[in-house]
Amino acid sequence: MNNSEENSVPIIISVGGSLIVPNAIDVEFLRTFKDIILKHIGNGKRFVIICGGGKTARHYQDAAREVKSLTADDLDWLGIHSTRLNGHLVRTIFHDHAHPEIVKNPHEDVRFRESILVAAGWKPGFSTDYDAILLARNLDAKKMVNLSNINYVYDKDPNKFDDAKPLRNITWQEFRKLIPSEWSPGLSSPFDPVASKLADEIKMEVAIINGKNLNELDNYLSDRDFTGTKITS
């Protein structure tokens, strides 16, 4: 594969909602994120950006719970629509470079000529991690960045164990031994177990990077050493 062919295949970037809306909308994060993505678009790269729901989802879910007992589907739909609102925000800031429609179904026959495609949540019972991997399979993408709030994947929960060790490189087989085998809403895991299984099957490379230090995203996209964890088959 030559450089032009490699650059034409999009890189998936999953942006945790807590980065976009940690409480109020983080304008500085969006500004820095935009600058980095535009820099790499200038170098010929293309991106699919999928957004989480963040505090927007939590605020709606908490408010609804105070008024009425909700089903799991009700809660999921509030979260999904929050991802779509955040997706519209991101598509708007990349207006001149982004496909005009937000992808809501990762199985869609998506064809886009623009440098950026924005995606959001699909339907209840599926995390945005899983949606992202489904999109990657659909678009033949082989690299994904998961921007979250952790610096590394650890060999055990660093919140519970002082001797937890950061893992810079790990295989999917090794990673899947560290996490639960099933996904559930609110699960605390660096990456969704169901998404991890599919990522392993399609030989996806996923970089876990702390979105609060976007220089590391720039380093990864520039093929430099970066602070974070790379998961490969």
pLDDT digits (tens, 9 = 90+) for 51-106: 999 899 999 999 999 999 999 899 999 999 999 999 999 999 999 999 999 999 99
CATH of the domain at 170: 3.40.1160.10
Alpha-carbon distance 40 to 115, whole Å? 10
Residue 193's identity, in one-letter code, is P
- Residues in Cβ contact with 37 at an 8 Å cutoff, skipping those fewer than 6 apart: 13, 47, 49, 94, 116
Q: How many domains does the chain have?
A: 1
pLDDT digits (tens, 9 = 90+) for 187-205: 567 888 889 999 999 999 9
Tokens 């209840």 correspond to 124
- Residues in Cβ contact with 210 at an 8 Å cutoff, skipping those fewer than 6 apart: 147, 148, 149, 150, 151, 216, 227, 228
pTM: 0.92
pLDDT digits (tens, 9 = 90+) for 17-61: 999 999 899 999 999 999 999 999 999 999 999 999 989 999 999
Alpha-carbon distance 199 to 232, whole Å? 9
pLDDT digits (tens, 9 = 90+) for 133-179: 999 999 999 999 999 988 999 998 888 889 999 999 999 999 999 88
Q: What are phi and psi of 28, to 5 degrees?
A: -65, -40
SS3 content of the chain, % helix, strand, coil (to 5): 40, 15, 40
Domain region containing 215: 3-232
